[in-house]
Amino acid sequence: MSRLVVVSNRVTLPQKSGDAPAGGLAVALQAALEERGGIWMGWSGKSSGSKEPQPLDMRTHGNITYALTDLTKTDVEEYYHGFANRVLWPICHYRLDLAEYGRKEMAGYFRVNRFFAQRLAPLIKEDDVIWVHDYHLIPLAAELREMGLKNKIGFFLHIPWPPADVLFAMPVHEQIMRGLSQYDLVGFQTEHDLDNFGGGLVREGIGERLEGNKFSTYGRTFKGGYYSIAIETEEFARFAKKAYNNAIVRKARQSVEGRDLIIGVDRLDYSKGITQRIDAFDKFITLNPAYQNKVTYLQITPKSRSEVPEYEQMQRTVAEQAGRVNGSVGTVDWVPIRYVNRSVARPVLAGLYRLARIGLVTPLRDGMNLVAKEYLAAQDPEDPGVLVLSRFAGAARELTGALLVNPYDIEGTAHAIARGLTMSLDERKQRWEKMMEHLKVYDINRWCDDFLKDLASA
């Protein structure tokens, strides 16, 4: 089996004892790397003022070598905060209104990709298979090819891919598509994203979609596919069962005694639909006054990307909105919304999911959404809760037993909450079992194996 080289913006280093457990993706990639031997390269997270690149920080653990590169402050500003998070992220989440194109940032993005390639190329052996992750590194294969590398190179996009009309608003869309064409396999989360990609190529007149999800463009033929990312289902389920008796979860349980818990867990991001969700909860209480003092909505939302102004603004908006709803529908002995603005440890999170009667996952657009899968895996098989899920999350294409909602339809989401709270045990079990069976088969290891198998044969 060929050696595997994984490249991603950030690298998850091996866990030290006492560290929080790594997420499913990191564990699966580490397992694949350990089995085949390989390298995981990415940004160290450090930035310096010096223009002179520091040597790569190389650390070997077992069969894996971690290769970390520093970036300059300008690189981080332009490549990461600038183009990746202020152009590609909003565009791929269909938010043309939030994209800010600056030539300096666009140039910085391509420059840092070249820099990554220059640092990576000397580490590559002839038959290594390279797997590049996510929107930060789309042009990496093109840079490596220019340096003469002929290796198999695959790319997986963790976020959605937009339809042609949205994509074409981005001034460098053609370079981005040309970049993708240099891979041997381009993987998306869903068939819908893959179709958007194919549609864009054909609409722009730069490519053709051939039989078997092959594409031909810029003189190359390459494969496309879709691979829905997942979690370590069985392990998470075991973890949640144990976590139910964790001291913090026990306290939370006592504090909601006699009420149903509704849970929302998301990074603070405009794609997650948090303000619409709070409006829907407000509407639910207004339409169903019998639920006053009978439910608690817990929204756990750590801050993210505070350097980007939209995110900073959102922090204020969500906090004010939660306060406003608590003020208007709350009573002297009932705070309807508990808004927690920080990250919680994974075992606690698992236990809280299990405690919640409803998992409220209503992004306006999401590549997959792992919270939906974690919520399901954490449920008690004898008394599972109900997943209320946005039809615009990639996960909605698999989790058909959820109550699917359009998050822009505030009343529709409010009705789904009410329906979830009154659903019979039989129906809850039936829906949950069907989804759980799927998640047990299509877990994170299956995702990883399917992609690598297709890359090997691409």
**Which position's Cβ is nearest ligand ADP?**
370
Would you say 56 or 350 has its CB closer to ligand ADP?
Answer: 350
**Of the two residues 105 and 266, which places its CB atom closer to ligand ADP in the complex?**
266
Which residues, in sequence order, are CB contacts of 445 under 8 Å at separation 6+?
28, 31, 232
Distance of closest approach, residue 118 Cβ to ligand ADP, in angstroms = 29
Task: Note whether 281 and 297 are within 8 A (CB).
Answer: yes
* Residue 163 CB, nearest approach to ligand ADP (Å): 20
Helix spans in 362-443 (H):
370-377, 410-422, 425-441
**Could you tell me which of 453, 14, 448 has the C-alpha nearest to residue 232?**
448
Of 222, 228, 226, which is closest to residue 207 (Cα–Cα)?
A: 222
Burial class (CB in 10 A: 0-12, 13-18, 19+), 443: buried
**Binding footprint of ligand ADP on the chain (CB under 6 A):** 23, 265-267, 300, 302, 343-344, 349, 368-371, 374
Report in angstroms how near the CB of residue 353 gets to ligand ADP at its nearest: 9
Residue 318 CB, nearest distance to ligand ADP (Å)?
13
Provide the greatest CA pair distance for the chain: 70
Phi, psi for residue 184 in degrees, rounded to 5? -90, -30
Burial class (CB in 10 A: 0-12, 13-18, 19+), 4: buried
Nearest distance from residue 248's CB to ligand ADP, in Å? 12
Residue 190 DSSP class = S
CB of 20 to ligand ADP, least distance (A): 9
Which CB, 22 or 96, lies closer to ligand ADP?
A: 22
Q: Is 23 or 163 the residue whose CB approaches ligand ADP more closely?
A: 23
Start-to-end CA distance of the chain, whole Å, equals: 15
Among residues 172 and 387, whose Cβ is nearest to ligand ADP?
387
Query: Could you give the CA distance from residue 347 to residue 412 in angstroms, rounded to a whole number?
Result: 32
Q: How far is the CB of 25 from ligand ADP (least distance, A)?
A: 9
Catalytic residue among 81, 158, 173, 192: 158
Judged by CB, which is closer to ligand ADP: 80, or 215? 80
For ligand ADP, which is the closer residue by CB, 260 or 374?
Answer: 374
- Identify the CA nearest to 444 among candidates 129, 12, 21, 32: 32
Burial of 44 (0-12, 13-18, 19+ CB in 10 A): middle
Cα torsion 418, 420, 421, 423: sign? positive
Strand order of the β-sheet with 57-61 is: 57-61, 64-72, 38-48, 4-10, 129-133, 152-156, 185-188, 220-226, 214-217, 207-210
Is 123 or 319 the residue whose CB approaches ligand ADP more closely?
Answer: 319
CB of 70 to ligand ADP, least distance (A): 24
| Chain mean position to CA 33 | 21
- CA distances from residue 142 to 167, 204, 206, 385 in whole angstroms, order as listed: 20, 20, 17, 47
For the bound state, the minimum distance from the C-beta of residue 266 to ligand ADP, rounded and expressed in Å, comes to 6
The amino acid present at 241, given as its one-letter code, is K
Q: Which of 184, 260, 366, 443 is catalytic?
A: 366
Catalytic-residue membership of 158? yes
Q: Which is nearer to ligand ADP, 70 or 374 (CB)?
A: 374
CA angle 170, 369, 306 (to 5 degrees): 60
Cα–Cα dist 280/414, whole Å: 5
Residue 216's φ and ψ, nearest 5 degrees, are: -130, 120
Residues marked active site are found at: 158, 366
